[in-house]
Amino acid sequence: MIAQEGLNVFPKETYKLNETDKPDALLIRSQDMHKTHFGTSVLAIARAGAGVNNIPLIEASSNGTVVFNTPGSNANAVKELIVAMLLISTRPIFSSITWAKKLNGADVSLQTEKGKNHFAGTELKGKTIGVIGLGAVGSRVARAASDLGMHVIGYDPYISVEHAWRLSNDIPRAGELADVLRSSDYVTVHIPYTEENKDLISEEELQQIKKGAILLNYSRWGIVNENAVIKALDSGKLKKYLTDFSSNKFIDRDDVIVTPHIGGTTIEAEVCGAKMAAQTLRKYLETGNIVNSVNFPTVEMDFISELRITLIHQNVPNMVGRITTILANDEINIDNMINRSRDKIAYTMIDTAAISEDKLDELRQELLAIPEVIRVRTLNK
Binding site for ligand AKG (CB under 6 A): 29-30, 49-51, 74, 263-265
Give which of ligand AKG, ligand NAI, none residue 30 binds (C-beta under 5 to 8 Å, depending on kind).
ligand AKG
Give which of ligand AKG, ligand NAI, none residue 156 binds (C-beta under 5 to 8 Å, depending on kind).
ligand NAI
Number of residues binding to ligand NAI, judged by CB under 6 A: 32
**Pairwise CA distance, residues 43 & 49, whole Å:** 19
Q: How far is the CB of 153 from ligand NAI (least distance, A)?
A: 12
Q: How far is the CB of 125 from ligand AKG (least distance, A)?
A: 30
Q: Residues 167-206: x/- map of binding to ligand NAI (CB under 6 A)?
A: -----------------------xxxx---x--x------
Judged by beta carbon, residue 216 or residue 367, the one nearer ligand NAI is 216
Q: Residues 12-51: x/- map of binding to ligand NAI (CB under 6 A)?
A: --------------------------------------xx
Query: Is 68 an interacting residue with respect to ligand NAI (CB under 6 A)?
Result: no
Query: Is 138 an interacting residue with respect to ligand NAI (CB under 6 A)?
Result: yes
Query: Is 242 an interacting residue with respect to ligand NAI (CB under 6 A)?
Result: no
Judged by beta carbon, residue 156 or residue 226, the one nearer ligand NAI is 156
Judged by beta carbon, residue 26 or residue 200, the one nearer ligand NAI is 200
Residue nearest to ligand NAI (CB): 135
For the purposes of burial, counting CB atoms within 10 Å of the CB of 247, is it exposed (0-12), middle (13-18) or buried (19 or more)?
A: middle
Judged by beta carbon, residue 77 or residue 349, the one nearer ligand NAI is 77
Give which of ligand AKG, ligand NAI, none residue 280 binds (C-beta under 5 to 8 Å, depending on kind).
none
Give which of ligand AKG, ligand NAI, none residue 71 binds (C-beta under 5 to 8 Å, depending on kind).
ligand NAI
Q: How far is the CB of 3 from ligand NAI (least distance, A)?
A: 15
Distances (CA, A) of 345 to 26, 66, 142, 152, 282: 21, 10, 35, 39, 21
Judged by beta carbon, residue 49 or residue 154, the one nearer ligand AKG is 49
Query: Is 133 an interacting residue with respect to ligand NAI (CB under 6 A)?
Result: yes
Judged by beta carbon, residue 7 or residue 320, the one nearer ligand AKG is 7
Closest by Cα among 53, 75, 77, 57 to 67: 57
Q: How far is the CB of 212 from ligand AKG (least distance, A)?
A: 29
Query: Is 226 an interacting residue with respect to ligand NAI (CB under 6 A)?
Result: no
- Please, are residues 200 and 221 in contact by the beta-carbon 8 Å criterion? no
Q: Order of strands across the sheet with 373-380?
A: 334-342, 345-352, 307-314, 373-380
Q: Residues 251-280: x/- map of binding to ligand NAI (CB under 6 A)?
A: ----------x-xx----------------
List residues near ligand NAI by CB under 6 A. 50-51, 71, 74-75, 78, 132-138, 155-156, 158-160, 163, 190-193, 197, 200, 218-220, 244, 261, 263-264
